[in-house]
Structures are given as structure tokens and as C-alpha cells.
Amino acid sequence: MVAVSITALAGAAGLGFVLLAVVINVVYVRVGLPMPGARLSLAAATDALAGAGTKIKLPSVFAPAGWLCTTLFAAGLLGALWRSGALESNSWALVGFAGVLMQNAAFMVVEALRFGAAAAARQRRDSVAGWWAAGNVLFGFNQVFLAVAVLGFTAAGASLGFIPAWHAWLGWISAALLFASATAAPYNADGTNRIAVIGLIGWLGWAAWIVAYAITLLRL
């Protein structure tokens, strides 16, 4: 049996997560499911959720694998940075790891709220508003944990010269955009997210940041 190092496994997990994220989003679009933060009225979201039926289950099948991948990626990255670092960089790496764990926990609740909203849409439409608003706000707030993860791991990697300057700048900018989007979450409870493009750009930057870090880990 060939042993695989945690660093190589972490790199593969980072790439795997980004691939899974793309697949999940494509499935959501193909089956017509409303995502938290989508610019839909409550009535339109309720109709879409009510008509989802069992289709809502398919994207969530991939979610546990995604959380596993992000945890492995973060653990391997933490280990690689820790071996090379001093107290300050190690502290920043721990901040990044904490952000990933919090992101996983928060998004697990977002997924559960989606099922609650779908059940409410089929059985008691007047209760959908609460489920929909809670999912939208938590989805928005969740971006702060993405920002924390990017901030911590970028600061640690940059201080050690572990990543090039362009990768560090990608991290700083993505973290700033994600944080800005998260602060607007209370104003997006009804789904009318007027700055959704900021969060989207931040998320795409975050995904590219992960790919770059994953390739770095695979090269170690």
C-alpha cells in the first residue's frame, strides 16, 4: 500500500473541493433550485421551493464530501505552514484553520434551512418567509468565515514567503470583498441582494486562491 502524505492529500482535497463546488452550483442551476442570496422575491422563491420535490436532495448529496475536502485542505495547509513558521505565522495559520471550520459549520446550517424552507413551501406557504430570510442572512454572514480563512492562511503564507506576491494579493482582495459582502447580510434577508456581485467576485477569488494553494501543496 502506497502511503500518501497529508500535504499531497490536502492539495488534492483543495482541488476536489473547487470541482465539487462547481458541480453543485451547476446542478442547482440545471434543476431550477433557488440558492440563498438569489435575487428572487419571496413568492418566486416559494414557488420554486414548492416545485423542487426530491430534486432538492441531489445537490446536498455532494455537500459532505465538500466539507471533508475543505477540512483536509485546511489541516494539511496548517501543517505545512506550521513546520516552516514562527509564532506569528503559526498564529495566523490557526486563524485560517478556524475560519474553515466555522465556514463548514455555518454552511451545514444553511443547507438544513434550505430543506426546512422547501418543506414549508409544500405544506404551509405562509411560514416560508422566516426560513428564507434566515437562510439568506446566514449565507451572507457565512462569508465572514471565508474571509477569516483567506486572511489567516494568506498572512501566514506571505510572512514565510510560502506564496508569491500575486497569490497574497489575490487573498487580500478576496477577503476584503467577502467581508464587505458579509456586512450587508442583514439587508439581504428578503433576497434582494444589491451587492451580490461583490460576494460573487470574492467567492471566485477565494476559489482561485484555493486552487493556487492546492497546487503549491502538491509541489512540496
Q: Is residue 1 part of a domain?
A: no
Residue 151 lies in a domain: yes
Inside any domain, residue 91: yes
C-beta pairs of 204-209 under 8 Å, 24+ apart in sequence: 205/170, 205/173, 205/174, 205/177, 206/146, 206/150, 206/174, 206/178, 207/18, 207/21, 208/170, 208/174, 209/150, 209/154, 209/167, 209/170, 209/171, 209/174
Please indicate, yes or no, if residue 52 is contained in any of the structural domains: yes
Q: Using CA atoms, how far apart are residues 14 and 23, in angstroms rounded to an integer?
A: 14
pLDDT in tens, 11-52: 999 999 999 999 888 888 777 777 766 677 778 888 888 877
For the segment 75-105, what is each residue's pLDDT rounded down to a tens digit?
999 999 988 777 788 899 999 999 999 999 9
Q: What is the pLDDT of residues 118-155, one digit of tens each?
A: 888 888 787 888 888 898 899 999 999 999 999 999 99
Interhelix angle 128-160/165-183, rounded to 10 degrees, is: 150
Q: Tell me the residue range of the domain where 154 lies.
A: 6-219
Q: Which pLDDT belongs to residue 132? A: 86
Instruction: Give the residue, 170 or 5, on which the prediction is more confident.
Output: 170
- End-to-end Cα distance, the chain: 21
Q: What domain count does the chain have?
A: 1
Q: Is residue 167 part of a domain?
A: yes
Is pLDDT of 182 > 90? yes
pLDDT for residue 1: 40
User: What per-residue confidence (pLDDT) applies to 66?
Assistant: 94
71 versus 196: which is more confidently predicted? 71
In a domain, 14, yes or no: yes
Helix (H, G, I), strand (E, B) or coil at 3: coil
